[in-house]
Amino acid sequence: MLVDELNSKMVESFLEKFKKMNLKEPDKNIVEGFLKVYRHYFTPFIYFEDGGVLRKENLNYSFLKDNLLRKIYVDTPLVVLAEGDNVITTSSQPFVMALMLRDANVREGGKILEIGTGSGYNAAIIAYICKKEENVISIEIDKKVADFALENLKRANFPKVKVINQDGGLGYSKEGPYDSIIVTCGAPEIPFFDQLKDGGYLSIPLVTKGIETLVSFKREKERMVGKLSIFVKFLHFEGVFSDKKHFAKNIQSLQRVVETYGKRRDDLKEQLSDLIEKENDSENVRSEKRRRRANFNFFIAISNDDAIMYESDVKGRENGYGLWNTILKNSDNGLIILFNDEIVSWGSEKLVERYISFYKRWKELNSPEIGDYIVEFYPENNLSIEDDKVFQIKRKYGTTLFKLV
């Protein structure tokens, strides 16, 4: 059967990524979940770009087209519901799903809370692993998406999975505490600490100053301890914990400054040569520089209050990261943004000097990568840490500590 063949190849593909990245592979029960739960049941629509516009094609479950199945059974994220060019929800990359299921320690008989139902595909795999559908509670803020997921779950023969239409940021204390919590959207906050059992696991795409890292936590009484694995990109929280409005406002302001007043800093390229891509760089060299740049940007994010993510629709400057000091009437006001192949600054040179000093500090620490940190979470904000290898990020519902080891 073509579906089984394509599904097996998809699973083999993401397992190969675990090997290449030297990551511990997911348990057999997780792999079996992917092999037994078919992704096409959760993709009644296939979206593809055509001239910069999203087009949609419906699946006919009575007569499945081979070409559509080949688009579904690939180790990539998929748009599964959209209105015009507005993406409403996606199906995550299977590799990332497997990694999060592994990190959340999903087991037979466990009680699992999922934040962000999406298509329902992940909830179905969790239900297969748990062997008790009613033990899986999935929260979805968008009613249209929740109804969509319920239809998909019924189609795939998982009708007992509980899909709750409410703000996922609030969790679902009614059925807690949980053995595992899996968050499938970019989360700047961790408001559901009390809904996790002592000894339970949390897997979350944690947003820190605009940078998302996949973090796995284990609760140890009144704290959680964990590690970071990879950089990720999810749709962000909606509802009371959304950071979208503030983030969008900053981005619009930043773009005006960068494009109107910013100046290219060719004089800094030599100092940051291991981060800046050059025209004659091979793809391997570019890949290495992307990796180093991502890790340095993360270091800036956890070590500096002025760290800012930059996004725009300007070709060549779609993404960047740097510092932005905007305190009114402050002579140190300015910005510096690192792009793939250039650096742009505006305002005070003191900010540029500070940025370079953080780069030198990162190099002194042997250019740490995200896997070099232990991360701890405390549901309080009165911690006092004096250690230059411990970086403290205060959040609304607690504090995260990133410790270099």
Look at residue 140 and give its three-state secondary structure. Answer: strand
Q: Which two tokens stand for residue 99?
A: 């990694």
Q: Yes or no: say if 221 and 208 are a contact pair by the CB < 8 Å rule.
A: no
Write down the residue that tokens 């007043």 correspond to. 261
Q: Between vectors from CA 250 to CA 231 and to CA 118, what angle results, nearest 5°?
A: 45
Q: Which two tokens stand for residue 405?
A: 């080891």
List CB contacts of 130: < 8 A, sequence separation 6 or more. 106, 107, 108, 109, 110, 111, 112, 136
End-to-end distance of the chain based on CA atoms, in angstroms?
Answer: 49
DSSP single-letter state for residue 131: S
The rounded distance, in Å, linking the Cα atoms of 215 and 376 is 10
Q: Yes or no: say if 202 and 196 are a contact pair by the CB < 8 Å rule.
A: yes
Beta bridge partner(s), residue 82: 87
Q: Which residues are catalytic?
A: 92
Distances (CA, A) of 75 to 36, 126, 152: 16, 18, 20
Distances (CA, A) of 45 to 78, 117, 121, 209, 388: 10, 17, 14, 34, 51
Check the CA dihedral 261-262-264-267 and report its sign: positive
The rounded distance, in Å, linking the Cα atoms of 10 and 63 is 22
Write down the residue that tokens 């960068």 correspond to. 258
Look at residue 227 and give its three-state secondary structure. Answer: strand
